[in-house]
Amino acid sequence: MKNPFKTIGTDYEVPKKLKGRILDDVMMIKCTYDIADLFLIKYPNTLTDYYIKEKVKYN
């Protein structure tokens, strides 16, 4: 099977302004993902782990 990406022309250079906008969008998506991961996954897990340990400690 042929790789279709090898047939794409590489003679064209993307403008720096467009590259910058795309990289900014990717960084914004990554930042949003990191914030969501922190507050929706890691923080609740930390709280539940803490309260389970406290409950076991006092029972």
pLDDT at residue number 4: 73
Structure tokens at 3: 């790789």
Q: State the chain's maximal CA–CA distance in angstroms.
A: 70
pLDDT of residue 23: 94
Domain ranges of the chain: 14-58
State the Cα–Cα distance between residues 22 and 15, nearest whole angstrom. 11
CA–CA separation, 6 and 25 (whole Å): 26
Per-residue pLDDT, 41: 81
pLDDT of the residue at 15: 87
Per-residue tens of pLDDT for the chain, all 59 residues = 787 777 776 677 888 999 999 999 999 999 999 998 888 888 877 777 777 776 666 66
Identify the pLDDT of residue 17. Answer: 93
